Amino acid sequence: MDYKNLLLEKKGQIAFVIINRPEVLNALNKDTLIEIKAVFDDLAADPEIRVIILTGSGEKSFVAGADISFMQPMTALEAYEFGSFAQDAFMSIEGNPKPVIAAINGYALGGGCEIAMACDLRIASDKAKFGQPEINLGTIPGFAGTQRLPRLVGKTKAKELIYLGEMIDAEEAYRIGLVNKVVPAEQLLAEAEKIAEKIVAKSGIALKLAKSAIDTGLETDFLTGQNIEAQLFGLTFATEDQKEGMSAFLEKRKAEFKNR
């Protein structure tokens, strides 16, 4: 697929997906969402790619939100369909079998905060800003922000951010658990790549199963989650990587995983 609103770069086993609409601060319209879903579905099936890094083009914005000029004339039904489509596109990120790291280089507002929350890890530039400002436009988050935000920062803090519609800086986002790490702007991509390289060195099968255990288990009761974990834990013992990992530990050497 040829991408008009994205850039796709591959460096070894790491893919860089760059949302590329700098003239509108990388705001999301439907065409961009179509491309996001397509690229993450393609990368999920790419055997050469182990980790995906998502970022925005330019220095100002990761994703400034949904494209307001695109949304403003929508009917209620059209808005419902647009929100549902965006939710589906973001599930191609959250549900991707490969770890996804958001490298947040600037504004992550509205849909930008929501797409970042769909990623597994979030590394923020010290210049990044976060928020769900939809209330200021007479609406509410529509790309699963009301669902992911409280799961990440807690119900009360999520209500504060959504009710007030105010921006927070990267340090506050780190304090409340919205991001994993804050780094100087000039180090952002290098830090994201450094983390990605550490992940690449692990067993791809174990990473996939760990992600499934966490994400699936969180949507169930604790006892069901434990059972899911036990099943996936057991499944790793059918892999060559488990044999290699434990043998390497006992032999006091570095494991060389083959993702089998």
Query: Could you give the CA distance from residue 128 to residue 116 in angstroms, rounded to a whole number?
Result: 12
Question: Are 116 and 122 spatial neighbours (Cβ–Cβ below 8 Å)?
Answer: yes
Do both 19 and 105 map to the same domain? Answer: yes
Q: What are phi and psi of 67, to 5 degrees?
A: -75, 105
Do both 41 and 75 map to the same domain? Answer: yes
List CB contacts of 248: < 8 A, sequence separation 6 or more: 254, 255, 256
Do both 100 and 214 map to the same domain? Answer: no
Structure tokens at 91: 């599930």
Strands (E) in the chain, as ranges, are 6-11, 14-19, 51-56, 61-63, 100-104, 107-109, 121-125, 129-131, 168-169, 181-183
- The verdict on residue 45 lying in a domain is yes
* CATH for 21: 3.90.226.10
Sign of CA dihedral 18, 125, 190, 49: negative
- The verdict on residue 145 lying in a domain is yes
- The verdict on residue 19 lying in a domain is yes
* CATH for 239: 1.10.12.10
List, for residues 88-142, the tens digit of each pLDDT value: 999 999 999 999 999 999 999 999 999 999 999 999 999 999 999 999 999 999 9
Q: What is the pLDDT, as a whole number, of residue 2?
A: 85
3-state secondary structure of 66: strand
Do both 229 and 169 map to the same domain? Answer: no
Q: What is the pLDDT, as a whole number, of residue 67?
A: 87
Domain count, the chain: 2
- What residues are annotated to the active site? 114, 134
DSSP label at residue 203: -
Structure tokens at 197: 């390289």
Q: What is the pLDDT, as a whole number, of residue 59?
A: 86
Do both 178 and 116 map to the same domain? Answer: yes
Do both 53 and 81 map to the same domain? Answer: yes
Do both 171 and 246 map to the same domain? Answer: no
- The verdict on residue 215 lying in a domain is yes
Q: What is the pLDDT, as a whole number, of residue 1?
A: 74
Do both 149 and 208 map to the same domain? Answer: no
Do both 96 and 225 map to the same domain? Answer: no
Nearest to residue 215, comparing CAs of 114, 102, 40, 93?
93
3-state secondary structure of 184: coil
- The verdict on residue 260 lying in a domain is no
- The verdict on residue 37 lying in a domain is yes
Q: What is the pLDDT, as a whole number, of residue 104?
A: 98
Domain boundary pick from 200, 219, 241: 200
Name residues of the chain where pLDDT drops below 70. Answer: none
Domain span at 217: 204-250
- The verdict on residue 255 lying in a domain is no
List, for residues 154-170, the tens digit of each pLDDT value: 999 999 999 999 999 99
- The verdict on residue 63 lying in a domain is yes
Do both 60 and 118 map to the same domain? Answer: yes
Do both 122 and 240 map to the same domain? Answer: no
* CB burial of residue 250 (10 Å; 0-12, 13-18, 19+): exposed
Do both 186 and 67 map to the same domain? Answer: yes
Query: Could you give the CA distance from residue 248 to residue 146 in angstroms, rounded to a whole number?
Result: 44
